[in-house]
């Protein structure tokens, strides 16, 4: 039913309600039929949340490795791998639970008690218990709990900014509308999430939850869940590794049989080979560093709602941010006034205020503070009319309507001379060029005030102008500079006047020339033309909510975009941005649609999140370098020994120890390496660039070859000295472990020498090394030494092996860093990139 077209009696009938409200006799049936009055985004079902940590290619490989281990009767190996996979899942689930708990806490702060009429009596209920047919009461300052049809009202004004984007209160009535109306034109309806700024009303609920206008926008905003770009890159890398391992494993198996190794022993060897090639510690390490990054950001007032968001934010190339509240403090103040007759405007400004508009309207709050005007009675109040961009107050004592509104509109309706108009326009430009929001003041003499301001029959009397300013956040300009320095395009979106927006942008360092600004009225209707038109624009002025989503779509064609928003009208934009950012003070639906919530509504927090995202991404690269280089080193060692005809340097259980215990104790500290000093001086990485570039891949293979060379030489020397196989493998085992320890320190920086890094910044690496050494000693001399086939080896021999491996692994890495230091450049930012889905 189209509720705004129906007489109120027909609404009662349709909803099976009466003037006494709902009957308690059928409440249960209604509750079952309609459910709770709660906005619910179509999130993933529980089973999808459970399986999410098992969906990566890497985890699939580990599960396959565990299966092969069990088939080969290597139960210990298989169990250890399964434990790793389970730990990874538990960490993921715990972080999701923690994030959801914070969101629930934010929602609980917004709990609302509503007075409703049931069985003819007034009762107080939670807003979530409202049902269609309920009759409720509202007055000044109340948030509308559901979509409703007005039964009766008294001087009712509603702030619908969160729904329609209109910042001025809208007048409401209880009459019937005869023609089709847009949401913002339905003047006999109330909408969930909007606020009463004046008056009182009685209304009947017609829709709740996702059937409200808020809910419809929520349903439209749901996009397909996509894989994070970092996870996609890792999956591609792992898929390539699997193909290579499969080929090498086949070759190894054939070589083993050719050498006369029994089939069952050849299978165990190939299994050990496959295990050594797969860095089992990576999934847990990835999950842990992302979780810890999310928690660090939460302490910096950025609540990250998903792993994808914290990974994506590090790849952002463009930020489109609201001005009000994000770049400013969202508190208007009157800074200047000007009148045609050079008289003070304070008294007249006070007369433009309605009886209760000082409660919620930011403009009237500023005027009330400036004029020291308190709550007062008025004879007639005209709410802001968007079509003529003015509001007014009729004072019977003076016989005048005092009007305030947009300068261009008031001047066009005034009786000023051409010279006076030119003078006023000059002052308007002067105030706007200072970054002020400019409001015009006028009056209209009449003894019979009209029903609304559109019915004024003669010219108004123009009085003057006031300039208001929303104080910029002190740190905003520096944060924008840091973002620009990092190669990120920052754009400001505002409803301000062209010159006001330009002046603020200049102060913030967003624009130097007027050709960098575009007004909403100048935006091309065609989307392709819009993308071309805004290519070099950094300021969007006089923007209405409908423009915001179109701007986002245009930016996404060429940039990896973060978009901020706070109201329900922003939901389509923030939910479809690569990184949607909601304000902590914004609507619940905006927060539910976002990837990141700014708990302090501050632009600086976005820059902090980008730095954290970049740090996580770079540390993932470092972890991959460390793990894959050492894994390849083990593979080369075993293949080299097999080809030459030497005994295998290490056993399957020793390989598992190196990959799970030694790697895990070192890889986590590598992943927690603090950000390098120049991380925000680099341009964003191209989203299609592989996670590991040619330089890092080359260094990986050099380190692996160094490890393999030392290992094979060690085996040859000890074999020629007629040592037993267990003795040889023990020395090689120690050497490979030391190689991993040293390579962890190599991985701390892609460009800087190991000797130039400050170890106090990452004490975790020293702790990890100490733990790994202790664990290594325990299996060398403890009761488990027989499980790991550890032989008695002189300390001096182990020391020789350790020194040789350290010098080789450290030396090759340092030489390569020195060689590439001056030739390597960081990827340049490109104006056109392939967007992340």
Just list the catalytic residues. 322
The three-class DSSP label of residue 329 is strand
Residue 383's φ and ψ, nearest 5 degrees, are -65, 165
How far apart are alpha carbons 606 and 742 in whole angstroms? 36
- Nearest Cα to Cα of residue 536 among 273, 165, 831, 112: 831
In our burial notation (b when 16+ CB lie closer than 10 A, e otherwise), range 744-754 reads bbbbbbbeeeb
Contact 728, 718 (CB under 8 A): yes
Contact 599, 303 (CB under 8 A): yes
> Helices (DSSP H) in 313-439: which residue ranges?
346-351, 362-371, 407-412, 418-433
How far apart are alpha carbons 127 and 208 in whole angstroms? 10
The secondary structure of the chain in percent helix, strand, coil, rounded to multiples of 5, reads 55, 15, 30
Helices 663-671 and 763-781 cross at an angle (nearest 10°) of 180
Gyration radius from the chain CA atoms: 34
Contact 540, 562 (CB under 8 A): no
How far apart are alpha carbons 426 and 424 in whole angstroms? 5
What is the number of other CB atoms lying within 10 angstroms of the CB of residue 263? 10
- Nearest Cα to Cα of residue 232 among 652, 662, 689: 689
Q: Tell me the DSSP string of 108-169.
A: HTT--EEEEEETTEEEEEEGGG--TT-EEEEETTPBP-SEEEEEEEEEEEEE-HHHH---S-
Helix (H) or strand (E) holding 335: strand 328-339
The three-class DSSP label of residue 393 is strand
How far apart are alpha carbons 88 and 619 in whole angstroms? 18
Contacts 24+ apart (CB under 8 A), 417-422: 420/340, 420/462
- Nearest Cα to Cα of residue 735 among 794, 801, 779, 792: 801
What is the number of other CB atoms lying within 10 angstroms of the CB of residue 208? 26
How far apart are alpha carbons 508 and 410 in whole angstroms? 31
β-strand partners of 472: 328
Q: What is the maximum span of the chain, computed from C-alpha positions, in angstroms?
A: 118
Contacts 24+ apart (CB under 8 A), 30-35: 30/131, 30/132, 30/133, 31/129, 31/131, 34/131, 34/132, 34/208, 34/209, 35/208, 35/209
Residues 537, 539, 544, CA angle at the centre, nearest 5°? 115
How far apart are alpha carbons 715 and 159 in whole angstroms? 80
How far apart are alpha carbons 325 and 603 in whole angstroms? 9
Helix (H) or strand (E) holding 319: strand 318-322
What is the number of other CB atoms lying within 10 angstroms of the CB of residue 47? 8
Cα 614 → chain centroid? 14
């Amino acid at each position: 039913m189209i509720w705004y077209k129906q007489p109120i009696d027909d609404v009662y009938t349709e909803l099976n309600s009466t003037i006494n409200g709902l009957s308690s006799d059928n409440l249960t049936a209604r509750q079952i039929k309609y459910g709770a009055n709660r906005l619910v985004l179509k999130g993933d079902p529980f089973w999808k949340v459970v399986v999410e940590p098992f969906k990566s290619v890497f985890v699939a490989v580990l599960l396959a490795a565990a299966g092969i281990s069990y088939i080969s009767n290597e139960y210990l190996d298989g169990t250890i791998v399964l434990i790793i996979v389970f730990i990874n899942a538990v960490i993921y689930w715990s972080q999701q639970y923690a994030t959801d708990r914070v969101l629930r806490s934010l929602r609980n702060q917004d709990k609302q008690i509503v007075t409703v009429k049931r069985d003819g009596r007034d009762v107080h209920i939670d807003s979530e218990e409202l049902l269609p047919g309920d009759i409720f009461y509202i007055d000044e300052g109340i948030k509308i709990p559901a979509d409703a049809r007005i039964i009766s009202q008294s001087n009712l004004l509603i702030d619908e900014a969160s729904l329609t984007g209109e910042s001025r209160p809208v007048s409401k009535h209880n009459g019937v509308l005869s023609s089709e109306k847009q949401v913002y034109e339905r003047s006999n309806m109330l909408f969930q999430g909007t606020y009463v700024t004046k008056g009182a009303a009685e209304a009947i609920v017609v829709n709740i939850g996702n059937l409200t206008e808020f809910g419809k926008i929520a349903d439209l905003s749901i996009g397909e869940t996509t894989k994070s770009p970092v996870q996609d890159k890792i999956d591609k890398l792992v898929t390539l590794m699997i193909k290579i391992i499969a080929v090498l494993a086949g070759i190894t198996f054939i070589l083993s049989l050719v050498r006369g190794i029994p089939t069952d022993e050849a299978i165990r060897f190939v299994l050990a080979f496959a295990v050594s090639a797969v860095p089992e510690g990576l999934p847990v390490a990835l999950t842990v560093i992302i979780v810890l990054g999310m928690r660090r950001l939460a302490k910096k007032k950025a609540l990250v709602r998903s792993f994808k968001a914290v990974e994506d934010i590090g790849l952002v190339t463009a930020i489109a941010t609201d001005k009000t509240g994000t770049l400013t403090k969202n508190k208007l103040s009157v800074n200047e006034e000007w009148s045609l007759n050079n008289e003070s405007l304070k008294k007249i400004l006070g007369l433009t205020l309605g009886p209760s508009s000082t409660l919620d309207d930011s403009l009237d709050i500023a005027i009330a503070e400036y004029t020291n005007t308190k709550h007062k009675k008025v004879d007639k109040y005209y709410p802001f009319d968007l079509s003529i961009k003015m509001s007014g107050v009729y004072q019977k004592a003076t016989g005048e309507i005092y009007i305030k509104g947009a300068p261009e509109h008031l001047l066009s309706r005034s009786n000023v001379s051409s010279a006076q108009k030119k003078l006023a326009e000059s002052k308007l430009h002067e105030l706007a060029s200072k970054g002020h929001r400019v409001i015009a003041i006028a009056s209209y003499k009449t003894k019979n005030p009209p029903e609304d301001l559109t019915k004024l029959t003669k010219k108004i009397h123009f009085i003057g102008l006031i300039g208001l300013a929303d104080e910029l956040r002190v740190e905003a300009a520096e944060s924008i500079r840091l973002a620009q320095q990092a190669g990120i395009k920052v754009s400001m979106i505002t409803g301000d006047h062209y010159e006001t927006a330009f002046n603020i942008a200049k102060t913030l360092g967003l624009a130097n020339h007027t050709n960098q600004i575009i007004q909403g009225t100048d935006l091309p209707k065609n989307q392709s033309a819009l993308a071309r038109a805004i290519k070099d624009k950094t300021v969007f002025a006089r923007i209405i909510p409908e423009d915001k989503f179109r701007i986002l779509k245009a930016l996404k064609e060429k940039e990896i975009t973060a978009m901020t928003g706070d109201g329900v009208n922003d939901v389509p934009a923030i939910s479809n941005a690569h990184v949607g950012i909601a304000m902590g003070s914004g609507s619940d639906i905006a927060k539910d649609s976002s990837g990141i919530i700014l708990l302090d509504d501050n632009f600086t927090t976005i820059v902090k999140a980008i730095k954290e995202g970049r740090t996580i991404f770079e540390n993932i690269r470092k972890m991959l370098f460390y793990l894959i280089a050492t894994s390849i080193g083990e593979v080369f060692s075993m293949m080299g020994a097999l080809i030459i005809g030497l005994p295998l340097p290490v056993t399957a259980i020793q390989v598992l120890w190196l990959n799970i215990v030694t790697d895990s104790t070192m890889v986590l500290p590598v992943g927690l390496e603090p950000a390098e000093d120049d991380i925000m001086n680099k341009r964003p990485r191209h989203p299609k660039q592989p996670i590991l570039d040619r330089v890092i891949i080359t260094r990986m293979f050099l380190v692996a070859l160094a490890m393999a060379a030392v290992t094979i030489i060690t085996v040859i020397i000890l074999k020629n000295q007629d040592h037993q196989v267990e003795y040889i493998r023990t020395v090689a085992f120690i050497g490979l472990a030391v190689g991993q320890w040293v390579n962890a320190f190599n991985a701390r920086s892609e460009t800087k020498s190991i000797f130039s890094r400050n170890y106090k910044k990452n004490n975790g690496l020293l702790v990890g090394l100490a733990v790994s050494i202790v664990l290594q000693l325990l299996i060398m001399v403890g009761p488990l030494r027989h499980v790991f086939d550890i032989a008695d080896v002189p300390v001096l021999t182990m020391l020789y092996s350790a020194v040789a491996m350290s010098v080789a692994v450290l030396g090759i890495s340092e030489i390569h860093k020195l060689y590439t230091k001056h030739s390597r450049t960081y990827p340049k930012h490109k104006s056109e990139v392939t967007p992340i889905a």
